Amino acid sequence: MATRPLLIGTLAAALAATAATAAPATGAAAPARPAAAADASPVGYASMNGGTTGGASGATVTAANADQLDSYATSSTPYTIRITGTIAVSGMQKVASDKTIIGVGSSGRITGGGLNVSEARNVIIRNLTFTGASDDAINVQYSTNVWIDHNDLSGGNDGLTDVKRGSDFVTVSWNHYHDHDKTALLGHSDGNAGEDLGHLRVTYVHNWFDGTGQRHPRVRFANPVHVLNNYYNDIGSYGVASTENAGVFVERNYFENVERPTSLQEGSSDEGNIKALNNHLVDSGTPAIRNPGSVAAIPYSYTPESSATVKGTVMAGAGVGRI
């Protein structure tokens, strides 16, 4: 099938579109395109396995406080849940299947806690600001077909977007991460191979890792993970880490002032594998690679942007208020 551009779409289409499983990519670079609008539906893994449409089949409702958010988010009924102001949540708010939780304009904000997508399928989290989470800002576990898109995430106690415990078919796109250390974990433990092998397939595309410390992402077991067209600047420790024999394809990203764009071993974890292609390096170290032939082929169609233009595209398009 034909490749689908990464940079087009509207909010209305995002709430109604059904994404189809795509064919393998050619990997050919495409000309830069404007980033004025968001994708209509997820690219990458969340487009597979039947696609990710969230609550598009149900009613659109508005949550004005934590009680309303809890009622809609935990319901077995599909909902598109609009958030128009600040909601302070206590701990991790459970999110059930077939939900879209989306901020309106630039006003939707979650503080004090985070969203827990656990044992769920078909969830979209878009256009929200997360600050001051007591645990993770967004946690995904035992879940499939999740799209995390156009959020602003900072200042949590643990991770900002952590994906773990056998979760699969996830796309993390157009998010702005800042003022934080442990950013995006993929696979929570060296001892969890039984659940994680063959799963944890995630696409990270057009995210802005802005002065954050580490885990952009930090990967265990998964193969292949696709890290495509992201902008990294002033990273404290490392960019992308592959451990526990994971396979990560680091493709056409823009690294600026990043001493270690990639890492093959962190903590007590065994080494992983990295394939790196056409990344743009400014005042940055050389990406570490290992066994690139062991990184599996990307199983979906995509049109990558030239790495030289990624900085401008991501800075113009990532975060809230862009859809």
User: CATH number, domain at 61?
Assistant: 2.160.20.10
The Cα–Cα gap between 220 and 302 comes to 24
Tally the domains of the chain: 1
Q: Is the pLDDT of residue 14 over 90?
A: no
The residue-averaged pLDDT of 260-276 equals 95
The residue-averaged pLDDT of 43-64 equals 98
Give residue 156's pLDDT: 87
For CA atoms 56, 58, 60, 66, give the dihedral sign: negative
The residue-averaged pLDDT of 258-263 equals 98
Residue 121, domain extent: 11-317
Q: What is the mean pLDDT of the chain?
A: 90
Give residue 265's pLDDT: 85
Q: Is the pLDDT of residue 277 over 70?
A: yes
Q: Is the pLDDT of residue 105 over 80?
A: yes
Give residue 38's pLDDT: 64
Q: Is the pLDDT of residue 152 over 70?
A: yes
Give residue 52's pLDDT: 98
Q: Band of the pLDDT at 49, cuts 50, 70, 90?
A: very high
The residue-averaged pLDDT of 223-229 equals 99
Residue numbers annotated as active site: 215
Instruction: Give the burial string for 217-244 (b: 16+ CB within 10 Å, else e).
Output: bbbbbbbbbbbbbbbbbebebbbbbbbb
In a domain, 2, yes or no: no
| 155-202 per-position pLDDT tens digit | 988 899 999 999 999 999 999 999 999 999 999 999 999 999 999 999
In a domain, 51, yes or no: yes
In a domain, 4, yes or no: no
The residue-averaged pLDDT of 253-258 equals 99
- Distances in whole angstroms, Cα of residue 176 to Cα of each of 57, 217, 262: 28, 14, 20
Question: In this predicted structure, which of 26-30, 82-86, 305-309 has the lowest mean pLDDT?
Answer: 26-30
Give residue 216's pLDDT: 97
Give residue 7's pLDDT: 38
In a domain, 112, yes or no: yes
The residue-averaged pLDDT of 235-241 equals 97
Q: Is the pTM of this model over 0.85?
A: yes
Give residue 289's pLDDT: 98
| 16-39 per-position pLDDT tens digit | 332 332 333 434 433 333 333 367
Judge if the upstream peptide bond of residue 261 is cis by omega within 30 degrees of 0. no
In a domain, 5, yes or no: no
In a domain, 171, yes or no: yes
Q: Is the pLDDT of residue 9 over 80?
A: no
In a domain, 114, yes or no: yes
Give residue 39's pLDDT: 75
Q: Are 105 and 125 in contact (CB under 8 A)?
A: no
Q: Is the pLDDT of residue 295 over 70?
A: yes
In a domain, 322, yes or no: no
Q: Band of the pLDDT at 267, cuts 50, 70, 90?
A: confident
